[in-house]
Amino acid sequence: MQGKQESDSTVNEIATVQMDEKYREDDFSEAEPEHEEQEPEKANDIEVHRSTRQRKTPSWHSDFVMTSYDAYCLLTEEGEPTTFMEAMRNPEASMWMTAMQEEIKALHRNHTWKLVALLVGRKAIGNKWVYKIKKDSNDKVERYREKLVVKGYAQKEGVDFNEIFSPVVRLTTIRVVLAMCAAFDLHLEQLDVKTAFLHGELEEEIYMLQPEDFEEQGKENLVCRLTKSLYGLKQVPRCWYKRFDSFIISFGYSRLSSDHCTYYKRSGDNDFIILLLYVDDMLVVGPNKDQIQELKAQLAKEFDMKDLGPANKILGMQIHRDRNDRKIWLSQKNYLRKILQRFNMQECKPNSTPLPINFKLSSSMCPSSEAERMEMSRVPYASAVGSLMYAMICTRPDITQAVGVVSRFMADPGKEHWNAVKRIIRYIKGTSNVALCFGGSELIVNGYVDSDFAGDLDKRKSTTGYVFTLAKAAVS
Amino acid sequence: MAATQACKEAIWIQRLMEELGHKQQKIPVYCDSQSALHIARNPAFHSRTKHIGVQYHFVREVVEDGNVDMQKIHTKDNLADAMTKPTNTNKFEWCRSCYGLSDT
């Protein structure tokens, strides 16, 4: 999610980085004729023909309204340089330089690449430094952190990557496991893999230019052949998943056929370990503490692990536990508060239900004139519905129906539709403390089904709904 | 016809739980439509259900196999009601508490 202005500026920066590289590469351009596509003009002048057409962002971009307090924004904030040149001009250049040298050293230690001559017919992709100042809770600078990222967008399918999907655990599985946890009073621990993506091993041959200003002496015209994955490559998540998968299976864990990110190991009658993997977050569940410790030690030997102890937060959901009472609460208080803040509705009046009874929306409420459409384009409809949807699939089954209704009009929202969204947010305001509570000693699944008969006014389609409850709480 | 989707989910949960070492017997699925239940239980071919596509006969198969048990429930006790239509406050709050959502 990037705002209009911001995305423009990112494009500009990338353009300048590429320009910089062009200047450098001109020096040894004779040695690498296969670079033609990247620098078509290198034989001629450096003057590049650029269209003078006014650039306009498409209208759908206006949907993404960016607010400065948005925590997920990928953009660098004030005081953080965005390009290498900028970092060197920065008053803190020496700090950045030492941090970069450390990072390069770490990459060498990890055997991330080998220097080779580029094969004829292959292209090396560029890279870029991403800078970040890590601050502690008192806003004091803790350390300077950078990452070397590869420009993944320059990768070509079939050459630089084949398959890039990577499975993550289903939220239903997380809830089922938490329900089991509550019912049988199991240990629930969380682990985190540091720099998970750097552990993946690449299958494809990928060549990368040497990082700016860190070329090895006398080998300037060689390129790096990547052996380990690096941030920015398209297949990074998949590499990591495969690596972890083969590793954990070698320890006798079996992958479940119903969810490929869940691993299970049984040892003895009443002893088992369940491991859920969500990219680099892991939840480990089991009745035996020693077994969990053993698994942790095994993992720490192979990867750089961070032990977070008893789980209290996963995917933005807080986990609160009462072991005496055998209950687990799963809530998204902070996330919901952030939604309210983001849409400036902290002070709104709460509602008791998300939508009023017999409430119907239809496409006849979509804007009819261009003027109305323009007015609606200023409303962050899609991002509001999107944020609600995430809350819905995580911990709030109660707003499912309402969110389902408003999300049908994502393409062409009208005023009425926006009012409905605001009503849901007001309902959230009234109930932001509500949490999903797992408890009860028996583990029995019950299903409930319902359908409304042709409730959609436009297409005469029916909505179907189902709920499955386990340990007194909805799981699906 | 929602039953089809529900049965698929039921089978998935059943498999997941089994793999995690907790075999479920029959999963009861409660439905408030009498006619849907009749179609699900009775293998006879109704001329009036011709329009119901092949995939819906899946429910019948699952019920026959004994993986899922379809049962009648009154609309007012149906938890899934709030999933499909806007309901009044009382019903909605009741459903919500049944989903396991409670104030902390």
Give residue-wise pLDDT tens across range A371-412. 777 877 888 888 888 888 888 888 887 888 888 888 888 877
Can you tell me whether residue A285 is helix, strand or coil? strand
CA atoms lying within 13 Å on the CB side of residue B34: 1
Q: Which residue has the higher pLDDT, A82 or A66?
A: A82
Please give the structure tokens belonging to residue A137. 């809770």
pLDDT at A42: 45
Name which of A459, A467, A399 is nearest A429 in CA terms. Answer: A399
Measured between alpha carbons, how far is A171 from A278 in angstroms, rounded to an integer? Answer: 10
pLDDT at A74: 38
Please give the structure tokens belonging to residue A389. 């949807």
A449 and B3 within 8 Å at the Cβ level: the answer is yes
∠ Cα B9 B39 B26 (to 5°): 40
Q: Are strands A434-438 and A446-452 parallel, antiparallel or unpaired?
A: unpaired
The DSSP secondary structure of A202-268, one letter per residue, reads: --S--EEPPPTT-PPTT-TT-EEEESB--TT-TTHHHHHHHHHHHHHHTTT-EE-SS-TTEEEEE-S
Question: Where does the pLDDT of residue A423 fall: very low under 50, low under 70, confident under 90, or very high at 90 and above?
Answer: confident
Close Cβ partners of A69 (under 8 Å, ≥ 6 residues apart): A341, A342
Q: For residue range A118-162, list pLDDT tens digits in order.
A: 776 677 777 777 777 766 555 666 666 666 777 766 666 666 666
Task: Considering only CA atoms, give the Rg of chain A.
Answer: 26
> Which range scores top for mean pLDDT: A66-70, A92-96, A268-272, A338-342?
A338-342
Count other C-beta atoms under 10 Å from residue A3's C-beta: 19
pLDDT at B46: 57
Measured between alpha carbons, how far is B93 from A339 in angstroms, rounded to an integer? Answer: 23
pLDDT at B23: 66
Fold of A171-199+236-331: TATA-Binding Protein (3.30.310)
Tell me which residue has tokens 């499912």.
A400
Taking one residue from A and the other from B, the number of pairs with CB-CB distance under 8 angstroms is: 177
Task: Give yes or no for a contact between A332 and A398, defined as CB atoms under 8 angstroms apart.
Answer: no
Q: Which residues of A touch B34 (CB under 8 A)?
A: none
- State the SS3 of chain B: CHHHHHHHHHHHHHHHHHHCCCCCCCEEEEECCHHHHHHHHCCCCCHHHCCCCHHHHHHHHHHHHCCEEEEECCHHHCCCHHHHCCCCHHHHHHHHHHCCEEEC
A257 and B19 within 8 Å at the Cβ level: the answer is yes
Domain boundaries, chain A: 4-165+205-226, 171-199+236-331, 333-474
- Tell the burial category of B81 from Cβ atoms under 10 Å away from its Cβ (0-12, 13-18, 19+): buried
Q: For residue range A209-261, list pLDDT tens digits in order.
A: 777 666 666 666 777 777 777 777 777 788 888 888 888 888 888 888 777 88
Q: For residue range A343-377, list pLDDT tens digits in order.
A: 888 788 888 777 777 777 777 777 777 777 787 78
Query: Residue-wise over A281-314: b if at least 16 C-beta within 10 A, else e?
Result: bbbbbbebeebbeebbeebeeebebeeeeebeeb
Name which of A12, A28, A9 is nearest A210 in CA terms. Answer: A28
Q: Which residue of B has its CA nearest to A173?
A: B16
Please give the structure tokens belonging to residue A260. 């490929």
Measured between alpha carbons, how far is B24 from B8 in angstroms, rounded to an integer? Answer: 15
Q: Which residues of A touch B31 (CB under 8 A)?
A: 448-450
Q: Which residue has the higher pLDDT, A440 or A34?
A: A440
pLDDT at A17: 44
Of B12, B95, B101, the CB nearest to A435: B101
Amino acid at A45: D
Question: Where does the pLDDT of residue A25 fall: very low under 50, low under 70, confident under 90, or very high at 90 and above?
Answer: very low
pTM, 2 dp: 0.68
Question: Where does the pLDDT of residue A46 fall: very low under 50, low under 70, confident under 90, or very high at 90 and above?
Answer: low
B69 Cβ under 8 Å from any chain A Cβ = no
